[in-house]
Structure 1
């Protein structure tokens, strides 16, 4: 059943049943084009941090000491996120004070629907694309460092992630959908309150090994 307009759901990153990132987001649409979600600056999210203050970007999750999901405020950019069905990526539109400032390609596994959330596994490699089409790979060093670790992409999966990023870069270079001006003038519903983490979101996530 499709999610409904204005509904708050959780976009969650998981790795080996461990929640590593939880974003409450507002549903804009849910149709054949994909699940379209909105998150404004200042709204809540939670990310995995260990007892030493280290994040999953600094350590593999199985090397983190007493990891916990820590609540934080989303900073810098409002984002619109499109998760096409069956896709190995999501596309993010970034806005600064309502002005479109660029795209972000997050390479990830196709999402899995739950009653009030969608789960995906981040494949670490990302692409940042500005409005003029200039692009920059992101987190290449993190992906390279994790290749061979059993919880992370192997060499074949890492190559597939890069190929997916390159495919999206080609679309951006051609000015093809979704890099054709779609959603660059998007405005959220002014009646929407800032999406927050709902009661019970962390019922499983406050343990020493938080699971989804």
Structure 2
């Protein structure tokens, strides 16, 4: 799947400070209109003002009581969490990855667009990827299920916190877990507890069951969906210097 890969009922300790004060649950009005910009934030547990995070400016596809559907446009500038040398955090050896300080970096999303779906009240979101997306020639690659806190909303932003482990489902419906080694490293380095890791694994099982049960986030309509060609690239605010 081309492009920058962005890391990421809630895990108890991981809920702290992942959304600003006054945030509401996803699926609660007011809602944004189709085409509006929404900033998709993924913060570390116990995030504080000034800490690095992942921020993706996106276009709203649907925003209502069922949850949020949003589009990440190719060429969008994203804020990410990098190592102190300014390189992507995934360049840090796994045995140190959860111990190093993280700094704010900006990267351009250079792959095909990504459709992200965050159902209200679920500890995961669904990301749809395409291998090819030129004109009428779109080749669906599959679903990436990002395990995370249930989203919370404030103004034109949605907030969550990544749970390290993820689920990949290819276009044929074959299922595999992703980043199991990172989950083990996160436990060893104190990022999460054993109990939290077990709950994250149960969330993976629940997401897989939702796929098999035909949850609306995996519906064919989203595979067939295409963005409005008049949409411009959303802008990342407050770029780090």
* Normalised TM-score (structure 2): 0.75
How has the CA–CA distance of structure 1 residues 118 and 179 changed in structure 2, closer, same or farther, with 3 Å as cutoff? closer
How do residues 140-151 of structure 1 correspond to structure 2 at under 5 angstroms?
A: 140-147=180-187, 149-150=189-190
Partner residue in 2 for 1:30: 63
Partner residue in 2 for 1:129: 169
| Unpaired runs of at least 5, structure 2 | 1-29
For residue 10 of structure 1, report the CA deviation from its aligned partner: 1.1
Partner residue in 2 for 1:159: 198
Residue 85 (structure 2) pairs with residue 52 (structure 1): yes
Tell me the distance in 2 between the aligned counterparts of 1:103 and 1:134.
10
- RMSD over aligned Cα, in angstroms? 2.1
SS at match of 2:164: strand
How do residues 39-188 of structure 1 correspond to structure 2 at under 5 angstroms?
A: 39-57=72-90, 58=92, 59-60=96-97, 63-64=100-101, 67-95=102-130, 96-97=132-133, 98-147=138-187, 149-150=189-190, 152-188=191-227
Residue correspondences, number: 199
SS at match of 1:90: strand
For residue 61 of structure 1, report the CA deviation from its aligned partner: 5.5
Cα pair 1:12 1:19 within 8 Å, conserved: no
Tell me the distance in 2 between the aligned counterparts of 1:176 and 1:109.
18
Tell me the distance in 1 between the aligned counterparts of 2:159 and 2:212.
30
Tell me the distance in 1 between the aligned counterparts of 2:62 and 2:162.
22
Tell me the distance in 2 between the aligned counterparts of 1:84 and 1:173.
16
Cα pair 2:31 2:63 within 8 Å, conserved: yes
| Unpaired runs of at least 5, structure 1 | 207-212
Partner residue in 2 for 1:210: none
Residue 35 (structure 2) pairs with residue 2 (structure 1): no
Q: Deviations over 1:92-128 (max 9, x none)?
A: 1112313322101000001121222111100011111
4+ aligned runs moved over 6 Å, structure 1: none
Tell me the distance in 1 between the aligned counterparts of 2:201 and 2:152.
22
SS at match of 1:169: helix
Cα pair 1:93 1:103 within 8 Å, conserved: yes
